[in-house]
Amino acid sequence: MQTKLKEALHQKGFRVTPQRQIILELMMNLDGRHLTADEVYSLARERTDDISLATIYRTLELFVEMNLLRRFDSGDGVFRYEIDTSQSEHYHHHLICLECGKIIEFNDDLLDELESRIAEKGFEIADHCLRFFGYCQDCKKKKR
Ligand SMILES: [Zn+2]
Ligand SMILES: [Zn+2]
Ligand SMILES: [Zn+2]
């Protein structure tokens, strides 16, 4: 990943700065979490004082453009970022709990039929971003 980052940055004429390296390292160790720019900022501040929120925003957007990171809106209007480690060519789906805000990943695409129907209409699908809103197992139990 480090090499991939350096290559990708280099190709576009960007340098591998310590800030960019810190942000990428953080994003590589998310364990399935989806972080907002603010959350990335407070984690990055634990590693260095020499980083601003503006740098975080710029760097995250740069990484999204470079296809190193994925970005999605979890429904509260705030973008969350993650590295998509699934091998699937399309973005995985997200199940978002309306009670506790937990974001669960759903890794099977399962949209083959829909995608081929859309393709029949002459539309070429590059990707999709699907969110399901509802209640996670824990909150479902508590509701009873
Ligand atoms: Zn798909
Ligand atoms: Zn929940
Ligand atoms: Zn995800």
Residues, CB-to-ion distance under 5 Å, ligand 1: 90, 109, 111
- Rounded to the nearest integer, the mean pLDDT of the chain is 90
CA 90 to ligand 1 centroid distance, Å? 5
Expressed as residue numbers, the domain containing 49 is: 1-85
Please state the domain count of the chain. Answer: 2
CA 96 to ligand 2 centroid distance, Å? 8
What pLDDT is recorded for position 1? 58
CA 140 to ligand 2 centroid distance, Å? 7
CA gap 113, 73 in Å, rounded: 25
Same domain flag for 73 and 100? no
What pLDDT is recorded for position 141? 94
| Closest ligand to residue 88's CA | 1
pLDDT, greater one: 34 or 89: 34
Same domain flag for 117 and 140? yes
pLDDT, greater one: 89 or 93: 93
| Closest ligand to residue 111's CA | 1
Same domain flag for 36 and 102? no
Whether the per-residue pLDDT at 144 is higher than 90: the answer is no
* The token pair that represents 51 in the structure block: 């980083």
Here the CATH number for the domain that contains residue 64 is 1.10.10.10
What pLDDT is recorded for position 40? 97
Same domain flag for 6 and 64? yes
What pLDDT is recorded for position 3? 72
CA 117 to ligand 3 centroid distance, Å? 25
Dump pLDDT digits (tens) for 93-122: 999 999 999 999 998 999 999 999 999 999
Residues, CB-to-ion distance under 5 Å, ligand 3: 82, 105
Whether the per-residue pLDDT at 51 is higher than 70: the answer is yes
The end-to-end CA distance of the chain, in Å, is 45
Whether the per-residue pLDDT at 2 is higher than 70: the answer is no
Average pLDDT over residues 110-137: 96
Confidence band, pLDDT 50/70/90 cuts, at residue 67: confident
- Ramachandran category for residue 85: left, alpha or beta (phi over 0 → left; psi -120 to 50 → alpha): alpha
Whole-angstrom CA distances from 118 to 6, 16, 129 are 37, 40, 15
Boundary residue ending a domain (85, 113, 132): 85
Same domain flag for 75 and 99? no
